[in-house]
Structures are given as structure tokens and as C-alpha cells.
Amino acid sequence: MINFFGYLACAVAVLGAAHRLWPARWSSAGARYVVGFTLCMGLSLAVLAPATSALVRVWAAPARDALPLVGAELKLAGEYFLTLMAYSVRSPDPDRPRHRRRQTAGSLLVMAACAATYLAAGVTSADGSTLVVAADGRSALGLHSALFTLHSCWCVGLFTVVIHRAARHVGPGLLRVGLRLIVAAGVAGLVWTAQSVSPLLAGLATGRQEAGEDAGSAPVALLVLVLGISGATVTAWGNRLTGPARWLRTVRDYRRIGPLWSALHAAHPQTALEAPTARAGAVRALRNAEFARYRRIIEIHDGHLALRPYFHPQVPAWAAAAAATPAEGGPGAGDTAATRAAALVEAAVIAAALEAAAAGCRYRAASDYTPHAVRADTDAESAWLVLVTEAFTHSAAVQEIRRRVRAELHPGRD
Amino acid sequence: MATGGAWQRRKLWRRCRRIADTLNVPTEFDAAVLADLVSSRLGRPVELVPLPSSTCSPCGVLVTTDRAEYIGYPRDTTPLHQQHIVLHEVGHLLCGHRGSTVLSPAVAAALAPSLSSELINRVLGRSVYTEVQEQEAEVFASLVLHRAADRRPAGRVAGPPPARPAGGFGPAGTTAARLGSLFDAAPPHGPSESV
């Protein structure tokens, strides 16, 4: 079971690091620290797994006693990368390079001291995970373990505090979820570190100390890695999970504003960037729905502006009155009712202008119609234009105003 | 597009993407920041002038004088459309397009306080996309604004930048950017190619 946890954690770490090694994400120093930390910690767990010791005993017996030291040094290196990540998150300040240099020097010193005390203790390792020392080596082994534990506490604690503080300044979203997962990983990491105190005391008392993961610490180590990697990558895979739903919504909006775009495009075909064939439009929407929808929004507004000379000066008032009738939802209260009424007015203004443009009738009296205020955002624009399109195609009031304007333009025809 | 084959279309998109890559528009669009950005790039003042829509038929206008660049955009359309129109004219500037030197009386009247006695060197209007120059400027504007929208976190309301928080961190946006680079939140790059 311990082997399983050790190797599984190593596999998770290597896969997580490979994900971050993808060329587009490799450019930032932060990403390199994440990869350094993940690889070092994952490899240390694999090195300290009992099965690795058994393998080394068969193939390279003299190296067996050094395995626990290699595992410990890898963990120390991983913790060092953790502090570099913490420094890269904190605000840039003139002292940051100095702090980083101090940390590098401190971590290198601890790594060297750990190796020296380990060798001075004369450690032997029968199974690769249990350290055995003679009576005169106990204090050196105790110093080795104490240095390791203190370094771990400092690095994990610093990182957890920095990320916790940073998460408080990030708005709701996947990034904040990721940061909270990382803080949870940091807390679990402190628990993992605390679990090494018990073997330390046992080593001082008996000269035998467990260096590898046991049944209690291996699951905690796996939890730390899973939480950490999940937090570090949640923005990427979270977007991939929500991406298809967003794509569907965008394609639906693209189609829903289609009738309004088609009507305006028929009146002013020069406002389209691409030659609008049905097949090309469908392919464009499927391949890049966001961009296709963005273009439709812009082209609808272009058509709207091009129609301004044909805006009937009285249509906004007619449409506002019609919007207040029970048949069109009545004078409802709240933002939604007001927005729907505004959409009906907009649809009526456009429908009437299209009639006037078809008849070549420009109005001398300038229309004082002011378009509804919409947030500068494609989602907000799209939601607004969906309402306008619904009114444009389905509202009886809009059809009535259209007939009225047509009758004005062509007296005696209806 | 209305003119040209698939090869020319791809070439045009490649060129626009290359130029758009060089303009780092902030995620939260700010007209003043954009004007400063383009101004420092060109080494000439760039002024944005809101116009009544009747004067810039139908959408926007770029007037180059011996002193400055004037970008006129319609006052009475939505903010997103205004941003797109301004970027279209910026596209003309960055693509180095040529125009006429004839300014319509309506636009001249609207710009009169700014233009005074300056010598007009170039006039470009955003109207139809049958001209290659207009297609380029339009694709450029679409790419830049679409990319800026893509960089915005999903569900985030576009608005003023967040306030500077208390404590040891910089502005929230800066902290989020540093965290984003660390925790795999790289921005997307918009559409790869027109269809």
C-alpha cells in the first residue's frame, strides 16, 4: 500500500509537471518553480518507497544506505522551490532579490548540513526506509532530522501564509478556488511535516528511525500533491470543463441574433466583413463561435448606425406606449421589464427604419431616439440583442408599427 | 471577404494578427490609455473626438494633420461599438494606410475647434469593407478587442479597475496576474484564422 501511494504520488507529480512543461506555459519563472517543486517532491516519494530500496538492493547494494539521504535532499530542494514561488507572488519590492538570495543560501546550507550530519551519523539502512545508527551517531541523526523538519516548517509555512493573503485579494472565480486548494495543500503539508517529529524522537531514543513514508504519512503526502496540483491547474482544466457549455451558449446566441443581423445586412450588405453564405456562416460559428458572435454584434450596430437617417421621429413614442399595454407584458416593474420594453422600442425603431430605407425616405426631422445603454461586454451586448431580435421577429406591436409606417410611406397601398 | 481569394484572405489575416500582436490593449478598455499607447508608438499626438453620428457616415473617421491624428467616433452607439470603431481607425494608423485629403463639411465642422488651421494630410472613414485597407482595419479591430475580451475572466463585469487593497500586495489585478502566471491561468490568443 505504501509503495502504491509513493509511486502514485510520483506519477501525479510527473504528470502535473509535464502539463506545466508545455512550451507556452514554460516561459514564466513562476511556472518553472512549480515544475521544480512538483518534480522534486514526486521523485522523493518514489525514492523513499520500500520497493525502490528493494530494487536498489538487488542492482546497486552499496547505494542502498544513501537512498534516505537522496529522498531527504529532494524534499529540501522541493521546499526551496516552494519559497521561490512565494517570493514571486509577493509584490515586487527592492528587497525581494535580497530575500531570494538569503533563501537560496539558507536552503543550500541546510541541504549541506543535512548531508554532513547524515554521513557523520554513520547511518545504515537495512530496508531503505529505516535508518539505524550506533549510540554515538544518535545526536548527529537527531540534528539531521531537526534541520530537515525546521526547514520544511519554514518553507511550507511561508508559502501557505503568502498564498492565503494573496487569495483574499482575488475576486470570485477559478483562480481563487485554485488558491484555496493550494492553501489547503499547505496546511496538509504542515501536518505531513509534523508527522516527522515522532520518528525524530524515536531515533534519539532508540537509534532506529523511519525515513520513508508510513501508512499514516503516505496518504497525507498524496493528499498534499493532489491538492497542490489541482490548485495549480484548476484554472486550466476548469476553463476546459466550462468551455463546451460556454461554446454552446455562444452558438445559440449567434443563431438567435441571426434574424436581426440578416434584416440589417439585407438593407446594408456593405457592413459585412465576410461574404455571408449560409454554409460559411454555420462553419464560422462552429469553428470560432465567440468571434463569429462578436462580428455579428458589430455588424448589427453598423447597420443600426447606417439606418439613422431613416429613423422615424415618432416611432419611439409609439413603441413605448405599445410596450406598456398588457399584450406586450404591461408596465411591469423592475429592471427586466424596463429592459424588455427598451428592446421592443429598439426593435420597432429598426423595423420602421428598414421600411423607410426600402422606400428611400429620409426624415428631415431628426429623431431624438437614444439607444439603450449596454455594458461594454460581448455577453451583455449579446443578451441585449437577443431581446431586440425576439421583439423584432415576434412582437405584434412591432409588426403593427411597421404596418403603420409602411402605410405612411405608401398611402393607399394597404 | 467580398474581394480576393482564400490566399489573399489568409495573408491579410496574418498581417493583421502580426500588427495586433504588437498592441497590448489593457483587458479593461480605456480610451485615454489607448490614445497614449498609440501616441507614444507614433510619436505624434492622438486625439479621440466624439461626434454626432450624422457627421461620421456611417461609423468613424481618421483625420491626419501636420500636427496630430484625430479619431472621430459616433457618440450615440454602444460603448463596445465605439471601442471597435476607435480601434478600426487605430488599425489604419498602425497599418500605414493611405487615404484622401478631402474632408466632408460635416466632419470638418465637428472637428473645427481641434483642427483650426492645420494642414490635412489624410482622411479615412469607416464605411464599407470592399477596400483592402478597410478590411485590414476591420480585422485588426476585431482581433484586438476580441482578444481583450477573451483575457477577461469569464463572468467578470467590465468596469473600472479594482481598487488597491490594503496590505503588502499591489493592485488586485497585478496580484491576480502574478498568481495567474504561477498557477496556469495563461490568457488565450483569440481566433486563429477567419473562415
Note the pLDDT tens digit of each residue in A109-147: 999 999 999 889 888 876 656 788 888 888 998 999 899
If you count residue pairs, one on A and one on B, with CB atoms under 8 Å apart, how many are there? 184
Q: Among A239, A305, A349, which would you mutate to test the B interface (most chain B Cβ atoms within 10 Å of its Cβ)?
A: A305
Higher model confidence: residue B189 or residue A91? A91
State whether B54 and A308 contact (CB < 8 Å): yes
| Smallest CA–CA distance from A297 into chain B, residue | B81
The band of A167, judged by pLDDT with boundaries at 50, 70 and 90, is confident
Q: What pLDDT, on a 0 to 100 scale, did the predictor assign at position B163? A: 33
State whether A169 and B178 contact (CB < 8 Å): no
| Smallest CA–CA distance from B170 into chain A, residue | A91
CA–CA separation, A365 vs A147, rounded Å?
86
Global pTM value: 0.59
What SS3 class is residue A207? coil
Give the burial class of A326: count Cβ atoms within 10 A of its Cβ; 0-12 exposed, 13-18 middle, 19 or more buried: exposed
**Listed residue (B98, B81, B95) closest to B136, CA to CA:** B95
**Listed residue (A385, A377, A374, A387) closest to A303, CA to CA:** A385
Residue type, A181: L
**C-beta separation of A37 from A45 below 8 A:** no
The band of A263, judged by pLDDT with boundaries at 50, 70 and 90, is very high
State whether A166 and B182 contact (CB < 8 Å): no
State whether B169 and A85 contact (CB < 8 Å): no
A288 at the B interface (CB within 8 A)? Answer: yes
The single residue listed with the C-alpha cell 500533491 is A225
Mean pLDDT of A328-339: 67
Q: Report how far apart, in Å, the C-alpha atoms of A320 and of each of A324, A325, A356 are.
A: 7, 9, 20
CA–CA separation, A356 vs A267, rounded Å?
11
From the list B53, B146, B182, the residue facing A88 with the nearest CB is B182
Mean pLDDT of A204-222: 78
> Which range, A303-307, A409-413, B168-172, has the best average confidence (pLDDT)?
A303-307
A270 at the B interface (CB within 8 A)? Answer: yes
CA–CA separation, A37 vs A108, rounded Å?
15
pLDDT in tens, A338-388: 888 999 999 999 999 999 999 888 887 666 777 788 888 888 999 999 999
A317 grid coordinates = 413614442
CA–CA separation, B55 vs A363, rounded Å?
16
**C-beta separation of B75 from B98 below 8 A:** no
Q: What pLDDT, on a 0 to 100 scale, did the predictor assign at position B165? A: 32
Q: What pLDDT, on a 0 to 100 scale, did the predictor assign at position A278? A: 53
**C-beta separation of A217 from A188 below 8 A:** no
Higher model confidence: residue A51 or residue A310? A310
B169 neighbourhood in chain A, CB within 8 Å:
90-91, 165-166, 169
Mean pLDDT of A84-102: 78
CA–CA separation, A199 vs A197, rounded Å?
6
Q: What pLDDT, on a 0 to 100 scale, did the predictor assign at position B32? A: 81
CA–CA separation, A358 vs A409, rounded Å?
10
Mean pLDDT of A283-312: 87
pLDDT in tens, B85-138: 999 999 988 888 877 666 677 777 777 666 666 676 667 776 666 578 888 888
State whether A305 and B154 contact (CB < 8 Å): no
Beta-carbon-side half-sphere exposure of residue B56 (alpha carbons within 13 Å): 30
CA–CA separation, A125 vs B148, rounded Å?
58
Which residues are bridge partners to B70 per DSSP? B47, B63
From the list A165, A275, A375, the residue facing B157 with the nearest CB is A375
| Smallest CA–CA distance from A282 into chain B, residue | B195
State whether B158 and A375 contact (CB < 8 Å): yes
Q: What pLDDT, on a 0 to 100 scale, did the predictor assign at position A44? A: 84
B161 neighbourhood in chain A, CB within 8 Å:
none
Mean pLDDT of A319-341: 75
Radius of gyration of the CA atoms of chain B, in A? 18
CA–CA separation, B13 vs B135, rounded Å?
9
The angle that helices A335-359 and A396-409 make with each other, rounded to 10 degrees, is: 30
State whether B77 and A374 contact (CB < 8 Å): no
> Which range, A165-169, A273-277, A310-314, A328-332, has the best average confidence (pLDDT)?
A310-314
A267 at the B interface (CB within 8 A)? Answer: no
Give the torsion sign (CA, A335, A339, A342, A344).
negative
CA–CA separation, A52 vs B55, rounded Å?
79
The band of A256, judged by pLDDT with boundaries at 50, 70 and 90, is very high
* Residue-by-residue DSSP string for A137-161: GHHHHHHHHHHHHHHHHHHHHHHHH
State whether A378 and B80 contact (CB < 8 Å): yes
Which residues are bridge partners to B78 per DSSP? none
Q: Examine the pLDDT at A185 and tell me if it is beyond 60.
A: yes
State whether B190 and A233 contact (CB < 8 Å): no
Name the minimum distance, in Å, from the CA of B29 to any CA of chain A: 9
Mean pLDDT, chain A, as a whole number? 82
Q: CB within 8 A of A11, min separation 6: which ones?
A: A42
State whether B29 and A376 contact (CB < 8 Å): yes
Q: What pLDDT tens digit does each residue of chain B (195 aa) get?
A: 444 577 887 888 888 888 888 887 776 777 788 888 889 888 989 988 888 766 545 578 888 888 888 888 888 889 899 999 999 999 988 888 877 666 677 777 777 666 666 676 667 776 666 578 888 888 998 888 877 766 555 433 333 333 333 333 333 445 666 666 666 554 444 454 433
